[in-house]
Amino acid sequence: MIRLLTCVLMLFVLGLSPAFAQSETQPELRLRQGSSLEGFDYTYISPWMLKSMRQKDLTELKNIPVDKVHHIEILKTKVNGNYESFKHIINQLSDEMNLIGYNRDGDKGVKICVEISPVEVVKRILVIKWGSNGAEHLVTYIVGDFTQEEVNNIFHF
Amino acid sequence: MEKDLNERQLDRLVRDWSDDLLGPDIDKQISDSLMDFVDNDDTGIDVDELIDSHIHHLAMEESMSRRHKWKIFISSVAAVSAVIFIVASIYLAENDNSARSRKETFTAENQVKEKSGISNSAKPAGIAVSCNQTPAQPNRKKCQAEKAKETKTASTEQNLIETIAEINAGLADMVDNANEGLNMINVSLLTENLFSDTGHLGGYERIRDEYSSRQHTEEMQNLNIIEANLINVLYEIRNLDIDLNFDNIKTEI
């Protein structure tokens, strides 16, 4: 009887564990809708990929605390495409965040936004770089837990 | 006279045949029956011929019965021999396997002991590790634990192979259906989802190894592009040369 109950309990736990694992690790991908944009290239760097890369290529960069990165999304121009849709996605995201850096030179420009928790941990970093004539756009969205100093290092190592 | 002759002939025949072929009871029955027949005969039938025919028939039946008995006997002996042979073969084969298994296990144990410097004399000869031994023997638990571990490892490997097969199937669909940009994101998401579901740490590395060893050049190329893309972007961010200002920013509530 005890064995039977143990088996039932184990099956129950095993049945639930994937659901918990998925809900814990499945990230919210904010730039993913850009993957359907014509003329843009979307890349998602998953936590598992980051864990794998920490021991290899990323360590030589030294400017990013890879241990604290949860995931990264990148949306950039592949060929000239639907700029209005691109701008809508980016503006929607940047409006939720705080601007900490801005630089514009003619048609080119850079905009950096962050989201900071009440305990002053930077949870999200959005870097928008746009080129001239609607080309060479690059958006990088980094999710993790960073100090302000670590964020500074990302841009000024 | 005819009757006497018949009676004598009958007596002789019955006696001769019955002595050789028939038992005493049958002898008497046949004798009585035939004598009744002869005593009451008024049909003019050739009694001698009838008696000869009858006795010959009885003799034939008896002979056939004897041959039949011999056949049954021989068949029985053959069947029993065959059964004994089969049982003996199985028993010997099992003994042989068991002995070989004990020998191999004992040899392996000796090799381990030799490597670890443990003297074999510390253990009485003839004690071999086998999971079939009584629970009182300590090696049984160890053996069972090793077997369970082997089974678990095989199961994990099988899961990985199945996962890789799923990934390959998914990638094949993506190559057919999606554009290049979607391919890359889907490779990444598929990998992520599969291994977050199973909680398999290092799964991504294993996938890379599997792709590499199985020469899945297209998938490897996609993964390399994803990684190279990230590296390039991070280099680009580092070279932005922009001042950051954290003053007066709102914190998330």
pLDDT above 50 for B133: no
The three-class DSSP label of residue B20 is: helix
Residue A93 C-alpha, separation from nearest chain B C-alpha, in angstroms: 14
Structure tokens given for B61: 């039946």
| Angstrom distance (rounded) from CA A149 to CA A146 | 8
pLDDT value of residue B57: 65
Nearest to A35 among B185, B231, B234 (CB): B185
Nearest to A26 among B182, B196, B242 (CB): B196
How do strand A108-116 and strand A98-105 relate by DSSP bridges? Answer: antiparallel
Whether the CB of B234 is below 8 Å from some CB of chain A: the reply is yes
The answer to whether residue B51 is domain-embedded is: yes
Residue A1 C-alpha, separation from nearest chain B C-alpha, in angstroms: 23
pLDDT band at B110 (very low <50, low <70, confident <90, very high): low
Name residues of chain A where pLDDT drops below 50: 7, 9, 11-25
Residue A52 C-alpha, separation from nearest chain B C-alpha, in angstroms: 6
pLDDT value of residue B164: 60
Closest CA to A70 of A36, A24, A19: A24
pLDDT value of residue B94: 78
Please report how many Cα atoms fall inside a 13 Å half-sphere around the Cα of residue B41, on the Cβ side: 18
The answer to whether residue B205 is domain-embedded is: yes
Residues of B in contact with A32 (CB under 8 A): 185
CB A136 within 8 A of CB A42: no
The answer to whether residue B197 is domain-embedded is: yes
Residue A46 C-alpha, separation from nearest chain B C-alpha, in angstroms: 6
Interface of B with A in 173-202 (CB under 8 A): 180-182, 184-185, 188-189, 191-193, 195-199, 201-202
The residue that leads in pLDDT, A156 or B205, is A156
- What is the percent of chain B with per-residue pLDDT over 70, rounded to a whole number? 26
Domain carrying residue B23: 2-81
Using the structure block, give the residue that is written with the tokens 């009958």.
B10
Boundary of a domain, candidates B46, B81, B116 = B81
pLDDT value of residue A7: 46
CB B19 within 8 A of CB B28: no
Lowest-pLDDT range, A132-141, B39-48, B57-66, B194-203? Answer: B194-203
The answer to whether residue B111 is domain-embedded is: no
pLDDT value of residue A113: 94
| Sheet (strand A69-77) strand order | A40-45, A69-77, A138-146, A122-130, A108-116, A98-105
The answer to whether residue B135 is domain-embedded is: no
CB atoms within 10 A of CB B236: 14
pLDDT value of residue A83: 76
* Helix or strand run (H / E) with residue B215: none
Residues of B in contact with A21 (CB under 8 A): 196-199
pLDDT band at B243 (very low <50, low <70, confident <90, very high): confident
Residue B150 C-alpha, separation from nearest chain A C-alpha, in angstroms: 21
The answer to whether residue A40 is domain-embedded is: yes
Whether the CB of B242 is below 8 Å from some CB of chain A: the reply is yes
Domain carrying residue A67: 27-156
Nearest to B246 among A41, A100, A127 (CB): A100
Nearest to B199 among A21, A64, A115 (CB): A21
pLDDT value of residue A80: 72
The three-class DSSP label of residue B235 is: helix
Residues of A in contact with B191 (CB under 8 A): 46, 48-49
Q: Say if the Cβ atoms of A49 and B188 lie within 8 Å.
A: yes
CB A68 within 8 A of CB A121: no
Residue B140 C-alpha, separation from nearest chain A C-alpha, in angstroms: 22
pLDDT above 60 for B183: no
The per-residue DSSP string of B45-114 comes to --HHHHHHHHHHHHHHHHHHHHHHHHHHHHHHHHHHHHHHHHHHHHHHHHHHHHHHHHHHHHHHHHHHHH
Q: How much of chain B is helix, strand and coil, in % rounded to 5?
A: 80, 0, 20
Residues of A in contact with B204 (CB under 8 A): 46, 48-49, 51-52
Q: Say if the Cβ atoms of A52 and B205 lie within 8 Å.
A: yes
Q: Say if the Cβ atoms of B231 and A114 lie within 8 Å.
A: no
The answer to whether residue B29 is domain-embedded is: yes
CB B90 within 8 A of CB B48: no
The answer to whether residue A62 is domain-embedded is: yes
Boundary of a domain, candidates B81, B107, B128 = B81
**Testing the interface with A: which of B182, B184, B230 to mutate, by most A Cβ within 10 A?**
B230
pLDDT value of residue A142: 94
pLDDT value of residue B155: 66
Nearest to B196 among A25, A112, A156 (CB): A25
pLDDT band at B2 (very low <50, low <70, confident <90, very high): very low
Residue A39 C-alpha, separation from nearest chain B C-alpha, in angstroms: 9
Based on the structure, what is the number of domains in chain B? 2
The answer to whether residue B119 is domain-embedded is: no
Among A14-18, A71-75, B52-56, B109-113, name the most confident range: A71-75
Based on the structure, what is the number of domains in chain A? 1
Lowest-pLDDT range, A99-103, B34-38, B97-101? Answer: B34-38
pLDDT band at B79 (very low <50, low <70, confident <90, very high): confident
Co-location of B75 and B151 in the same domain: no
Q: Say if the Cβ atoms of B196 and A21 lie within 8 Å.
A: yes
The answer to whether residue A106 is domain-embedded is: yes
pLDDT above 50 for B230: yes
pLDDT above 80 for B177: no
Identity of residue B112: V
Using the structure block, give the residue that is written with the tokens 């490779």.
B187
Nearest to B233 among A100, A101, A138 (CB): A138
pLDDT value of residue A124: 95
Q: Say if the Cβ atoms of A45 and B193 lie within 8 Å.
A: no
CB A114 within 8 A of CB A122: yes
**Mean pLDDT score across all residues of chain B:** 61
The answer to whether residue B128 is domain-embedded is: no
Closest CA to A65 of A152, A122, A150: A150
pLDDT value of residue B160: 61
Q: Say if the Cβ atoms of A98 and B203 lie within 8 Å.
A: no
